[in-house]
Copies of this chain bind each other. A is one copy, B any other.
């Protein structure tokens, strides 16, 4: 979904959609109430009928987007095998254009997330949301890593390497994937070069294949 607000149910949602498009096309510096008005062809004053001010609006937009993103990734991935869940997460963050058509987060969607997340560097209200969001995805990924490791156990029919020195912490592996994906999103949104995408994706693939068998699901 290049635009998660294609058919707003609500005026409130229409306003959020307008703010989204302005942020996507012009960035936070040019985000004005007037431009939001233009963007959905209504008067700027209407915004104040639904929101107390710009701040409240933006925080609401942030909540809306993160909630949507969280439920998209976790629900859509619910019936996938764990290793495929990891791949799906990486795909969603790495090359959002060719994700499965309809409801996948379009690339420009990530631009808005990046804009808002950059604000989190200097604004506590924003940072809280991304702290929560990162925690949610981190737990999702850690669970997937454990499950994938457990699957591998069963497949191979033997236990993981019991050599203490080779054991991998599932939380560390999950955090690595999450950091990699966050970096991919950031690079994707902020540079024109796409030459690195394929290489990184295949390295992630090899990393997971090499690492998951060494993860202790019960660590």
Instruction: Give A residues with C-beta under 8 Å from B.
Output: 24-29, 31, 111, 114-115, 117-123, 127, 130-131, 134-135, 138, 168-169, 171-173, 175-176, 178-187, 189-193, 195-196, 198-200, 202-204, 206-207, 210-211
Contact = CB atoms under 8 A, between A and B. Distances in A.
A122 B31 CA distance: 12
As for how many copies of this chain the complex holds, the number is 2
Contacts of A172: 198-200, 202-203
A28 B123 CA distance: 11
Contacts of A206: 168
A181 to B, nearest CB: 7
A50 to B, nearest CB: 21
Contacts of A131: 191-193
Q: Which of A111, A168, A172 has the most CB of B within 10 A?
A: A172
A176 B186 contact: no
12 contacts: A24-B122, A26-B122, A27-B123, A28-B118, A29-B29, A111-B121, A114-B121, A117-B118, A130-B191, A131-B192, A173-B203, A176-B200
A118 B115 contact: yes
Contacts of A182: 183, 186-187
B118 A199 contact: no
Nearest to A128: B192
A134 B191 contact: yes
B183 A186 contact: yes
A134 B190 CA distance: 10
